[in-house]
């Protein structure tokens, strides 16, 4: 007969009297009398009073054949007395985890708010105040300001045109009409906020800002606003008198100011992205890391589920065999609740194994790494607008870069000139130039350069003159100053309002022309532009005496051969200056017929403009090439100029067979007879293409899209593109990562970009690559560390549950370990700063797994070492340290030194392995740069200190007892052993471990259904792909209905109220007129 472990002993009997009478049929006195008897006397008493031992069992309401009992045992009372310890400890541990996560989220939110505020401050606009053009934040623009506008601007307020030069506006964001609207004083002078300047220039007077502008009225009716807007509204409400009208006005003003700023309007950006995706019928898969993490999470989840299932099955089978086969107990109805409790306990153990197996700290690590990187990238002149661009840049394989301002310093100066039939290698003296030619140069450059471009005195005495405005215009104006000519005097005599007609520069014309009307009724037009294009339109040229002479095709070939090409070979941008007279007395020319107007010109001069290469660019390009990134130059310059700059900066090297093409030649090679672009033809060109000259924005978009869509390489290319103009927006949107120029870039380009280069420098792109790769490595480091802990913890929990029926690591100890490997580890490993070594390897690529062979080797190798140490200590530790065994200890017994050593050694091994996890590519020196990461050192040292406190004073809540110095040293020695073991693992070649499975592969490039695009779906969400299509459609339907109901409710409540106001009625009428 086996003794029931839950049966009452003498301590059970010593209970309150009412409990006795209620529970047992034997009194305390009877039991005392019985236990006083011995041997034969005891047997006689049992037989006389109770029949046999089974009679005693019956009176005590227990059974020798079952393990169940109905009464409250002492064990249960003991459990009740000690239950508060585990509960309180768990509560405190969970509170620590939640508070740490909340603190991180708060810090991240605060950081992103600072970033958003920085973006808002960056949005400035030029205004004319006190006769000076100054840059001010758009929120400081007031009614009555005179604002110069130019190609690429996003209008921040409503206004009326004062003077325009070939001005065309894109009002599609307001009216929905895609056609560009021409703005003239005699036609349509009304300019609306939120519209884009797509061509020309001019000046406007501000008539409405904020809530009173057309965009403000629309946003007010819709009630659109973000979190920042809501905070500002609350602040404004305190300043208002509390009336509904003032409150609504303050709210609308804030929303309008927020939404009109490029980069802050989610509605506007999402709308443009939707249109772009629907028109291209293609989804852009932006986040490489996201897809890999999703697949890895699914793989780990399946493995954890399988392990937990096996654990539950083993426990149940072990329990059934032991109880019913070995002990031969019988299942009775009385015992059913007890058995159910056992099965529930087994299920909870299985869930525990599953929870331990899943790396729930991974999202926190990703968030911390990205947030930290975005913050630090600001210091490296990278303003990140889209978070996923940060890590995507780490996988970039191609960079298509502009030349001007990115590779060069964007400080231009005329250094050579062809004037009066002479090629001057240095700036000539003004006395050597005929006065007639000099007058043409002075007037032509003064009026045919943007009036917002000017040369200002240097800020320091020894400094260079400041160039304000277009740098090419500034170079020409500087040329006049070198010739001792005063351009400002000409501009004062011919103000911008007196310009009769202006053909502004754009990527199609590649020239700019300005028409002046003379007093006698004649007209004179000055033209400047790309030398080979303008020279082809010339039929005369000024000779040495300053008189026009015929200019034929032979003369054109001579100048191109002897002047233009030598200048371009020196890396100079060549600009041709020309003019044309329209005699008086003839019918006024048809100025809209541009092709006939800009013909039969007279060449004044050809100048060579030098834009020095940034000194740090060649080294940066070399780093990119060593990192497996191909740099391509895409520029509008002459092909010879582009080739020379490419050779200087290292994009091309002498003796290489790479291609340098012009945009026209590229289109000829990649299009079929019908003019359609063929991917197979483009695939023959782009791998060898390094320089694309005289390219249009369409050519850039074609190249970027072709490289991304190409399937000739094993990995899909990840393309980064730089751009500054409005027409660069399609290429910036198409690219995996779009870089806009913060200084020279237009508002439209910035809005289409993912990252803004605040210094317009190519080296900042290289730093973005480093940070992107650092994010990737930080996640890999965290995974290597946490998966090692997970493997060890799962196996220890499994073996403990199945063999010893007890876990060597108690609940609160597991929570402390979980805190170490989740929150603390993510902070420590996700805040490593990038190093130059990141640029010494090739990009990971979209399909390379997160868990590489090297990482898998480290994970399994370290897990093997830790398991050997843990199981050795668990099963033989009491012999090794000559202490009492902690195995099979009675319930609620004091903490044992045995299991305290096991716990302490396990934690110290994790701390040392955290140092190992700093390297994921097989590096031997795991301490390299460790002291440069103060966060890592602080967390590691703090964790060690807390572990010391837990072991020494933690007591029963942590199931720990004090250890001797010798026991501490042994624990520390076994922990440091992970560092030594890591060196041994590193010596094992990966070629011997090809059988190891890599985890976290990226997804292959998949075809996206047009039906999904028609739904306006966003970027590919890999987690969403794990759901079935029915679930996807269901959630999309719910979200769409919810959004539509919100819009309807908003209009129902505020539309008619707003229409009652006179100012709103007039504004709406003006909006309707603009639509018509």
Q: Output the pLDDT for position 86.
A: 62
Q: How many helices (H) and strands (E) does the chain have?
A: 40, 26
Using DSSP, state whether 669 is helix, strand or coil.
Answer: helix
Question: What distance in Å separates the CA atoms of residue 1 and residue 326, rounded to the nearest whole number?
Answer: 13
* Torsion (CA) 1005, 1011, 1017, 1018 in degrees, nearest 10: 30
And the tokens for 78? 């003991």
Q: Output the pLDDT for position 65.
A: 53
pLDDT tens digits, 499-524: 888 888 877 778 999 999 999 899 99
Cβ proximity of 851 and 790 under 8 Å: no
Using DSSP, state whether 516 is helix, strand or coil.
Answer: strand
Question: What distance in Å separates the CA atoms of residue 87 and residue 94, rounded to the nearest whole number?
Answer: 10
Question: 382: closest CA among 772, 732, 753, 756?
Answer: 756
Cβ proximity of 468 and 132 under 8 Å: no
Question: 638: closest CA among 701, 566, 724, 579?
Answer: 566
And the tokens for 707? 């490289």
Cβ proximity of 515 and 523 under 8 Å: yes
The DSSP H or E segment spanning 340 is helix 336-357
Question: What distance in Å separates the CA atoms of residue 541 and residue 420, rounded to the nearest whole number?
Answer: 9
Question: 912: closest CA among 783, 785, 776?
Answer: 785
- DSSP secondary structure code for residue 801 in this structure: I
Cβ proximity of 698 and 666 under 8 Å: no
**Residue whose tokens read 């973005």:** 768
CB atoms within 10 A of CB 1040: 12
Q: Which residues contact 117 (CB under 8 A, 6 or more apart)?
A: none
Cβ proximity of 478 and 560 under 8 Å: no
- Roughly how many angstroms between the first and final C-alpha of the chain, as a whole number? 99
Q: Which residues contact 940 (CB under 8 A, 6 or more apart)?
A: 828, 911, 914, 915
The DSSP H or E segment spanning 197 is strand 196-208
Question: What distance in Å separates the CA atoms of residue 765 and residue 740, rounded to the nearest whole number?
Answer: 11
φ/ψ (deg, to 5) at 79: -60, -45
φ/ψ (deg, to 5) at 249: -65, -45
Question: 180: closest CA among 189, 190, 172?
Answer: 172
Exposure string (b/e) for 240-253, b if CB count within 10 Å is 16 or more? beeeeeeebbbbbb
Long-range contacts of 101-106 (CB under 8 A, 24+ apart): 101/364, 101/823, 104/364, 104/367, 104/368, 104/823, 104/827, 105/367
What is the DSSP track for 120-149? HHH-EEEEEETTEEEEEEGGG--TT-EEEE
Q: Report the Cα 606 to chain-centroid distance in Å.
A: 46
Q: Which residues of the chain have pLDDT under 50?
A: 1-22, 66-67, 69-79, 224-286, 1004-1076
Strand 158-170 and strand 181-183: pairing?
Answer: antiparallel
And the tokens for 662? 């012009």
Question: 933: closest CA among 836, 1028, 1017, 831?
Answer: 831
Using DSSP, state whether 489 is helix, strand or coil.
Answer: helix
Q: Output the pLDDT for position 1051.
A: 37
CB atoms within 10 A of CB 503: 23
Q: Output the pLDDT for position 515.
A: 93
Positions marked catalytic: 402
CB atoms within 10 A of CB 1027: 13
Question: What distance in Å separates the CA atoms of residue 169 and residue 193, rounded to the nearest whole number?
Answer: 11
Of the CA atoms within 13 Å of residue 581, those in its CB half-sphere come to: 10
Cβ proximity of 772 and 391 under 8 Å: yes
Helix, strand and coil content of the chain, in percent to the nearest 5, comes to 55, 15, 30
CB atoms within 10 A of CB 847: 16
φ/ψ (deg, to 5) at 163: -155, 130
CB atoms within 10 A of CB 948: 14
φ/ψ (deg, to 5) at 719: -110, 130
Of the CA atoms within 13 Å of residue 41, those in its CB half-sphere come to: 6
And the tokens for 74? 């002492």
CA angle centred on 319, ends 315 and 320, rounded to 5°? 120
Q: Which residues contact 876 (CB under 8 A, 6 or more apart)?
A: none
The DSSP H or E segment spanning 718 is none
Of the CA atoms within 13 Å of residue 839, those in its CB half-sphere come to: 21
- DSSP secondary structure code for residue 108 in this structure: H
Cβ proximity of 183 and 161 under 8 Å: yes
Q: Report the Cα 976 to chain-centroid distance in Å.
A: 37
Is 431 exposed, middle or buried (CB count within 10 Å of its CB: 0-12, 13-18, 19+)? exposed
Question: What distance in Å separates the CA atoms of residue 658 and residue 656, rounded to the nearest whole number?
Answer: 6
What is the DSSP track for 236-260? HHHHS-S-HHHHHHHHHHHHHHHHT
Question: 801: closest CA among 168, 308, 116?
Answer: 308
Cβ proximity of 900 and 894 under 8 Å: no
Strand 601-610 and strand 572-582: pairing?
Answer: antiparallel
Report the residue count for the chain: 1076
Question: What distance in Å separates the CA atoms of residue 756 and residue 378, rounded to the nearest whole number?
Answer: 10
Q: Is the pTM of this model over 0.85?
A: no
Strand 659-662 and strand 572-582: pairing?
Answer: unpaired
Question: 1009: closest CA among 981, 991, 992, 1033?
Answer: 1033
Measuring CA to CA, how many Å separate 445 from each of 200, 491, 528?
A: 18, 10, 8
């Amino acid at each position: 007969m086996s003794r029931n472990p839950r049966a009452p002993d003498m301590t059970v009997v010593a209970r309150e009297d009412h409990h006795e009478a209620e529970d047992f049929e034997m009194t305390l006195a009877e039991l005392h009398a019985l236990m006083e008897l011995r041997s034969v006397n005891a047997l006689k008493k049992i037989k006389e009073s109770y029949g046999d031992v089974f009679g005693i069992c019956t009176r005590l309401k227990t059974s020798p054949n079952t393990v169940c009992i109905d009464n409250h045992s002492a064990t249960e009372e003991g459990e009740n007395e000690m239950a508060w310890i585990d509960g309180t400890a768990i509560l405190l541990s969970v509170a620590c985890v939640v508070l740490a996560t909340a603190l991180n989220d708060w810090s991240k939110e605060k950081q992103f708010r600072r970033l958003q505020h920085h973006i808002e401050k960056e949005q400035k606009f030029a205004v004319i105040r006190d006769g000076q053009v100054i840059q001010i934040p758009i929120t400081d623009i007031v009614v009555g300001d005179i604002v110069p506008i130019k190609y690429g601007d996003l209008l921040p307020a409503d206004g009326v045109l004062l003077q325009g030069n070939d001005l065309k506006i894109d009002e599609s964001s307001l009216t929905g009409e895609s056609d560009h609207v021409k703005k003239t004083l005699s036609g349509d002078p009304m300019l609306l906020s939120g519209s884009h300047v797509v061509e020309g220039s001019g000046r406007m007077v501000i008539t409405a800002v904020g809530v009173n502008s057309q965009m403000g009225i629309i946003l007010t009716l819709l009630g659109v606003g973000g979190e920042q807007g809501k905070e500002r509204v609350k602040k404004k409400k305190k300043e208002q008198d509390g009336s509904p009208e003032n409150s609504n006005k303050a709210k609308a003003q804030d929303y309008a100011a927020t939404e009109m700023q490029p980069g802050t309007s989610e509605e506007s950006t999402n709308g443009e992205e939707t249109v772009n995706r629907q028109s291209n019928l293609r989804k852009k898969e932006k986040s490489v890391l996201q897809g890999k993490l999703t697949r890895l999470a699914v793989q780990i989840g399946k493995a954890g589920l399988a392990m937990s299932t096996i654990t539950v099955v083993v426990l149940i089978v072990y329990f059934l065999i032991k109880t019913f086969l070995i002990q031969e107990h019988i299942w009775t109805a009385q015992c059913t609740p007890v058995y159910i409790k056992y099965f529930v306990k087994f299920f909870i153990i299985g869930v525990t194994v599953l929870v331990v197996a899943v790396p729930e700290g991974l999202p926190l690590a990703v968030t911390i790494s990205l947030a930290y990187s975005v913050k630090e990238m600001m210091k490296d002149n990278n303003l990140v607008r889209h978070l996923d661009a940060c890590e995507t840049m780490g996988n970039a394989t191609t960079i298509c870069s502009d030349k001007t301002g990115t590779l060069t310093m964007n400080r231009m100066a005329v250094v050579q000139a062809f004037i009066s039939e002479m090629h001057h290698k240095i700036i000539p003296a003004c006395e050597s130039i005929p006065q007639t030619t000099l007058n043409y140069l002075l007037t032509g450059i003064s009026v045919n350069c943007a009036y917002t471009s000017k040369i200002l005195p240097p800020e320091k005495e020894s400094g260079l003159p400041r160039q304000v405005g277009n740098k090419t215009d500034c170079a020409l104006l500087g040329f006049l100053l070198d010739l001792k000519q005063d351009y400002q005097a000409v501009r004062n005599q011919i103000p911008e309002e007196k310009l009769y007609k202006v053909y502004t520069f754009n990527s199609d014309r590649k020239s700019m022309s300005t028409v002046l009307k003379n007093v006698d009724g004649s007209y004179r037009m000055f033209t400047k532009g790309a030398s080979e294009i303008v020279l082809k339109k010339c039929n005369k040229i000024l000779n040495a005496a300053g008189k026009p002479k015929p200019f034929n095709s032979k003369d054109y070939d001579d100048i191109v051969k002897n002047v233009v090409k030598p200048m371009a070979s020196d890396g100079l941008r060549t600009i041709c200056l020309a003019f044309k007279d329209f005699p008086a007395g003839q019918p006024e020319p048809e100025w809209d017929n541009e092709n006939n107007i800009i013909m039969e010109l007279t060449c004044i001069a050809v100048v060579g403009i030098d834009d020095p290469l940034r000194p740090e660019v060649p080294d940066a390009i070399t780093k990119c090439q060593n990192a497996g990134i191909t740099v391509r130059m895409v520029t509008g310059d002459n092909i010879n100029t582009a080739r020379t700059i490419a050779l200087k900066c290292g994009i091309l090297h002498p003796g290489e067979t790479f291609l340098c093409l012009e945009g026209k030649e590229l289109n000829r090679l990649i299009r079929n007879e019908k003019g359609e672009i063929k991917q197979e033809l483009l695939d023959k060109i782009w791998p060898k293409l390094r320089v694309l000259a005289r390219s249009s924005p369409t050519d850039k978009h074609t190249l970027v899209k072709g490289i991304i869509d190409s399937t000739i390489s094993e990995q899909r290319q990840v393309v980064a593109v730089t751009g500054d103009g409005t027409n660069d927006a399609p290429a910036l949107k198409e690219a995996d990562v779009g870089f806009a120029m913060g200084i020279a870039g237009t508002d439209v380009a910035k809005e289409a970009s993912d990252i803004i280069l605040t210094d317009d420098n190519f080296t900042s792109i290289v730093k973005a690559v480093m940070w992107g790769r650092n994010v990737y490595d930080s996640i890999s480091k965290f995974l290597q560390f946490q998966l090692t802990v997970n493997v060890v913890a799962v196996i220890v929990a499994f073996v403990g549950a199945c063999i010893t029926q007890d876990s060597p690591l108690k609940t609160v100890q597991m929570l402390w370990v979980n805190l170490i490997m989740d929150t603390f580890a993510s902070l420590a490993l996700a805040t490593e700063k990038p190093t130059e070594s990141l640029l010494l390897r090739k990009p990971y690529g979209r399909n390379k797994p997160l868990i590489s062979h090297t990482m898998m080797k480290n994970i399994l190798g370290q897990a093997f070492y830790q398991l050997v140490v843990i199981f050795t200590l668990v099963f033989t530790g009491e012999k090794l340290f000559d202490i009492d065994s902690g195995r099979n200890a009675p319930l609620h017994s004091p903490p044992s030194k045995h299991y305290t050593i096991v716990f302490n050694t396990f934690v110290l091994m994790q701390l040392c392995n955290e140092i190992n996890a700093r390297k994921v590519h097989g590096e031997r020196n795991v301490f390299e740069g460790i002291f440069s990461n103060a966060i890592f050192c602080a967390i590691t040292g703090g964790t060690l200190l807390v572990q010391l406190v837990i072991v020494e004073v933690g007591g029963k809540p942590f199931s720990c007892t004090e250890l001797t110095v010798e026991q501490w040293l042994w624990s520390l020695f076994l922990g440091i052993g992970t560092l030594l073991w890591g060196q041994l693992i590193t010596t094992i070649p990966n070629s011997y471990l090809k059988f190891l499975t890599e985890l976290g592969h990226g997804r292959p490039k998949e075809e996206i259904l047009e039906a999904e695009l028609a739904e306006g779906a966003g970027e590919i969400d890999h987690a969403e792909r794990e759901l079935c299509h029915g679930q996807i459609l269901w959630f999309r339907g719910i979200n769409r209905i919810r959004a539509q109901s919100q819009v309807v409710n908003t209009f129902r409540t505020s539309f008619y109220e707003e229409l009652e106001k006179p100012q709103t009625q007039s504004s709406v009428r003006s909006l309707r007129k603009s639509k018509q």
